[in-house]
Chains A and B, each alone.
Chain A
Amino acid sequence: MSSYHLDHLQYLETEAIHIMREVAGEFERPALLFSGGKDSICLLRLSEKAFRPSDLPMPFLNIETGHEFPELIEFRDRRAKELGAKLIVRTVDEAIQKGWATPARGEISRNKLQIPALLGAIEEFQFDCAIGGARRDEEKARAKERFFSFRDSFGQWDPKAQRPEIWNLYNARVNPGENMRVFPLSNWTEMDVWQYIKKEHLAVPTIYFSHERECFRRGGQWIPVPPPHADATKPDPYAGARPKPTEPLKQLVVRVRTIADMISTGMIESPADSVDDIIGEVSAARVTERGTRADDKASEAAMEDRKKAGYF
């Protein structure tokens, strides 16, 4: 093997950097979706590699459901500050107040309500592109996603009319009101993400590591017990997401494998308390990462339906 040779992480990295620079070169007002989760943590490092020593040429955007793990919020804010990036946060609550989003009766998850909140933020800031950390290995509908995924003026994805992507020539043209979702990590797997975190010595929120937590069993998963309802003058934001008397509590040693929000993330029982342990666990895993996501279990086409409606 010659010395002019890239290993798999270097290959995935250079591909992703090229894509991020295409975004900076082609779009007027891009944003980077940063949740504090492991995939978007990699995106941040890639954006540093793509744009330093300049400032990052795009703000970070996060849509909160209101059910976030506090550790994640703290981490998100700290990383944005460390990188000198502007962080824009919009919430599902605001979207409901403004009338953009209407919760379905009886539905506890706010995952779907993130769609109008995201589209609202895109309109508010006139973003023409949003970079996201989605990967094709996560889910069947994602496997068909392009790097540059065109969304019409309603934010919709049309899987049957995707632009062909040939070589590394990405068609980034959009008309006013339309936008692009760009996924530099498309070709990364869960394993690649952890190996990259290890290689780059990237910090991750503590909830990825093993810790003690009170959980209850629902839908075949260990769901974390939400924080207590502090302000009695307001409605409980976790109404419906609290354990019922028939769902006994259990103190477990757990961690998260993938993070949605508190009420749609299943905790896995795990002693892994280092990145090396996690890599070992991922390589031995017998269920996919999204197997612990309640939002994907709704139906076989759950992700396809959300993406068509504007989900990222």
Chain B
Amino acid sequence: MPHTQHPIEILRFNTCGSVDDGKSTLIGRLLYDSKSLMEDQVEALEKSADITGGGQINLANLTDGLRAEREQGITIDVAYRYFATPKRKFIVADTPGHVQYTRNMVTGASTANLSIVLVDARQGVIEQTRRHTFIAAMLGIPHLVIAINKMDLVEWRQERFQEIRDEIEDFLPKLDVFRDVKFIPISALHGDNVVDVSKFTPWYEGPTLLAHLENVHIASDWNLNAFRFPVQWVNRPNNPTDPMLHDFRGLSGQIASGIVRKGQQVAVLPGCIKTTIKDIWTYDGSLAEAFCPQSVTICLEHDIDISRGDIIVGLDSLPGMGSALRARICWMSTRPLQAGKRYFLKHGAQTLQAVVTQVEGRINMETLDLEPGPTEFRANDIGVIGLKTAKPLVYDGYTTNRLTGSFILIEQGTNATVAAGMLFPPLEVVKPEYTDFAI
């Protein structure tokens, strides 16, 4: 690797599939074959007596870090791995296949650019395959790879590969959100088509998995439409000795979407106050413009009472505002969700109380259809609910904005995170006539 590196991008991906599909083995293979493993890691592997017959290292033990996992041979929790090639840096979330750990897949996948869904070539498409593909689509992950693994165990037959591909392409149109979908025949155990091209698949003309990860176009994955800036922290030095610092009124946060420029007109919500961007302050100097996902400190023309949780938005495309919400959620708790229960709802930089007003329906993972009728959600159920918040929420639909369209629910008392929520688009946006032009 050269010492002086030109700017390189980070690609975040997660792996999912059902138990024994070979997820951890695949990541171990990527690390091993891309020479990202260190001698003491290999030494630790050997020390833990995981040399299987034939002198093969058990690659899964690289990611199964906790004692219980090694004992049971399963992956309990999301494990994060890091490796780099001269082209890109990678953050890998190894997410478990056990149905009871679907919440961890949501965790690992929510920040990913790309999902790898593993399919065992012998078993073909099973409920977990549908569930994981569906979750990746629901989370709005732009890029999907279907890695058909253990091809060596089906004699590298192209017909088998095509059969599985056809079956997945049958239900993909229902999940019409992926920017690209790639099918790759691999053997994670032996390394075929993972880093090195397999000699067993002359019929396959696509890239190896690593080549695809290195080259898939991710520059446009960040949302540069509609400016949204949730205020995280009010930056007021209150320094009496320095006049510049004494008057400094900054609003610190991370741009959730869009671009902002000095001199631009913006609205502060939910107060509905219009003002102008006076300065985009950073530790490294003022900026003329800033974009998602930069962290900056914004100074406004007018001294308005603004606190954590308020949102500064561009005027060209306004968000919705309301306290009656509809959302798709993934339920993550062993205590069921029921209508009438109260939770804390965290959205952007604010937390407010919310009550579940309605349980509309649950997704049937076989058909991927929404079925009405359940009175409660159990752990790992995905469905649609109605919510009412104690104060109006400023939000966008999840499909147009991943960060201002998402929320989590927190159980009161235990403080457990019990749901990941994706909001449906608002029925109407904030209306200009409600805007207070007073200042």
Contacts and interface: CB of A to CB of B under 8 A. Distances in A.
A21 B68 contact: no
Interface stretch (A35-43, A93-101, A110-118, A185-193): A185-193
B10 interface: yes
A285 B295 contact: no
Given A173-B344, A173-B410, A144 B77 contact: yes
Given A164-B103, A174-B415, A300-B48, A140 B308 contact: no
A146 to B, nearest CB: 9
Interface string B209-229: 000000000011010100000
Nearest to A186: B80
B271 interface: no
B235 A8 contact: no
A25 B233 contact: yes
Given A14-B295, A21-B252, A288-B40, A53 B245 contact: yes
A171 B332 CA distance: 14
Interface string A47-61: 011111111000000
Nearest to A171: B417
Nearest to B238: A54
Contact of B38 (A168, A169, A288): A288
Contacts of A14: 254, 293-295
Nearest to A303: B65
Given A8-B9, A283-B1, A164 B235 contact: no
A221 to B, nearest CB: 12
Contact of B8 (A7, A55, A287, A291): A7
Contacts of B8: 7-8
A171 B89 CA distance: 28
B91 interface: yes
Given A8-B8, A140-B65, A160-B76, 19 more contacts: A5-B219, A12-B10, A14-B254, A14-B294, A17-B254, A21-B252, A50-B233, A144-B79, A144-B80, A159-B77, A164-B103, A164-B417, A164-B420, A166-B107, A166-B417, A167-B402, A169-B346, A173-B351, A187-B91
**Closest 5 pairs between A and B when the two form their complex, measured CB to CB:** A140-B65, A7-B7, A291-B40, A17-B295, A173-B415
20 contacts: A7-B7, A10-B294, A21-B254, A24-B233, A25-B232, A25-B349, A53-B248, A140-B62, A140-B79, A160-B68, A160-B77, A166-B417, A167-B110, A168-B254, A173-B344, A175-B415, A189-B84, A191-B84, A287-B40, A304-B65
